[in-house]
Amino acid sequence: MASTSISSLPLFARLWSALFVILFPVLGLLGVFMRLFQSEMLPDIEPSWFYAAMTLHGLGLVGLVYATSFALLITRLSQYVAFRPSMLYVSTGLTGIGVILLVVLFLVRFGPGWYFLYPLPFKSAGVWPEWAPHVFLVALTVLGVAWLLWKLETLRAMAKSFKFSTMLGWHVLAGKAEPSVPPAVLVATICCIAGIIALSAAVVMLVFFYYTLLTGNAADALLVKNLTFFFGHVLINLAMYQGIGVLYDVFPTYTRHQWPMTKPMAIAWNLVLLLVLFAYFHHLYMDFAQPVAVQIIGQAASYGTAIPAAVVTILGTLAHVYRRRVEWNWSSLLLFFGTMGWAVGGTAAVIDSTVAANFRFHNTLWVPAHFHTYLLAGIVLIILGGIAHFVSRAREYTLRPARLPISLLLIGAYGFVTMFYIGGLTSVPRRYAIYPIEVAHGSTLAQVALVFVALIMVGVAVYLWDVGRLLFLPSKRSS
């Protein structure tokens, strides 16, 4: 079934890879700006710029990793199923419009945060203009539509080649080996279903915002917060899961060992679909008005999500390499270590999803600590590894085993997040442009973090030279 070509969508893959290698460093620089600000090295700049940068950095990077991991997954899927490229480009174009609007909003210092709680976008305390929330809602609507279409097209394309129950691996659960369905199809199916549910919740959330905008009446803040986090939580987790789909499909090329769909894998991903929808309650533990039963379900579901991840994907990755002649290079090493970031960050997430711990950690730097671990040291590495694989195949280029730059990336990323963890340990709040006297040590942590960020920057620069550059050279094959 699998063809040998890496993709029947070479241009699409190249477009998203190029977007990623440009936008990831640019949006990362906004993070550097925030750390500089928290270090008190930019005393003449207004805090409103910090919060605007925080918003664009958060929304931009979450959106970027979500979209790029999905684009790479689609590129892999296109070996097995036929997409209508026009649909993919429509989604890509709409995403572009949404992103341009977000950048415009940054310029007027629009800063409600990446997860924005009702009704903050309407209550700027004089910072951003009155039209900003209108534009923001339009931008989010455009992005929502783009990504909904994208997921629907993917489901359609897969359903043409596979029966729905086999896409979910139910035949494997029933003990049948045939038909053989690539794990990437299973993962994509789970991500499409969860994604469509989450994006629908986002639509309802936007309706509440539009309602207030048009009628001036207030909506229920707790209900909207539930919708916001349901959407945000699922979205950020899907970004990781989509990357795992890419991992299943690409990693075996370097270990020379099949990664077929097995019963544990099918069980795991069906479970993930269920658990990811209920774990989001952990974001509302400190809303004491939320029913207690729901808080308990949140802790149980959050603990539950750790199991399929560890038992199937993490263990599977390790089993793949054990005493095997693995071809270690930019791609395989980044994919391998990307799953490590997922494991380390996931552990911190499970701790924080314990209500009793959340009482002390909620909205402290523990939160950016755990999500930067599985985003920066996790999914970003997986995406960079996926791009390296794609580039090297498309250009018949042999990747080198870039041990030194990858070491720099790892030391930099783990050192950087460790400063956030220490911030959580010592009660430093997240989302503070300036640290008050009680937590003044927060700015020392920010300074140390900057040293580690410098290491990340060197590692990324070498990657861009070794790998990223190839994306922009004129195409070899078509000439």
Q: Please give the residue ranges that form the binding site for ligand HEM (CB under 6 A).
A: 28, 31-32, 34-35, 54-55, 57-58, 61-62, 65, 113-114, 368, 372, 375-376, 380, 430-432, 453, 456
Rule CB under 5 A: say whether 370 interacts with Cu ion. Answer: no
CB atoms within 10 A of CB 289: 7
The answer to whether 12 and 88 are in contact (CB under 8 A) is yes
Residue 233 contact partner, candidates ligand HEM, other proteins, Cu ion, none, CB within 5 to 8 A by sort of partner: Cu ion
Residue 125 contact partner, candidates other proteins, Cu ion, ligand HEM, none, CB within 5 to 8 A by sort of partner: other proteins
- Tokens at 419, concatenated: 């400063």
Q: Which is nearer to other proteins, 162 or 229 (CB)?
A: 229
Q: How far is CA 269 from CA 167, 193, 248, 356, 474, in A?
A: 11, 12, 13, 29, 40
How near is the Cβ of 333 to other proteins at its closest, in Å? 8
How near is the Cβ of 64 to ligand HEM at its closest, in Å? 7
- Site track 363-382 with other proteins (rule: CB under 8 A), x = hit: xx-x----------------
Q: Which is nearer to ligand HEM, 171 or 370 (CB)?
A: 370
217: left (phi over 0), alpha (psi -120 to 50) or beta: beta
Q: Which is nearer to other proteins, 5 or 426 (CB)?
A: 426
Rule CB under 8 A: say whether 253 interacts with other proteins. Answer: no
CB atoms within 10 A of CB 408: 21
Residue ranges in 38-67 that form contacts with other proteins under rule CB under 8 A: 47-48, 51
Nearest one of 46, 35, 61, 56 to 111, comparing CA atoms: 56
- CA-only gyration radius of the chain, Å: 22
Rule CB under 8 A: say whether 221 interacts with other proteins. Answer: yes
Rule CB under 5 A: say whether 362 interacts with Cu ion. Answer: no
Residue 456 contact partner, candidates ligand HEM, Cu ion, other proteins, none, CB within 5 to 8 A by sort of partner: ligand HEM
Cis (ω within 30 of 0) for the bond into 119? Answer: yes
Residue with tokens 């290079």: 329
Cis (ω within 30 of 0) for the bond into 25? Answer: no
Which DSSP state fits 223?
H
Residue ranges in 144-203 that form contacts with other proteins under rule CB under 8 A: none
The answer to whether 242 and 66 are in contact (CB under 8 A) is yes
Query: Residue 246: what residue type?
Result: V
Of 129-137, 155-163, 184-192, 338-346: span binding other proteins (CB under 8 A) = 338-346
Residue 1 contact partner, candidates ligand HEM, Cu ion, other proteins, none, CB within 5 to 8 A by sort of partner: none
The answer to whether 18 and 390 are in contact (CB under 8 A) is no
Interface contacts to Cu ion, rule CB under 5 A = 233
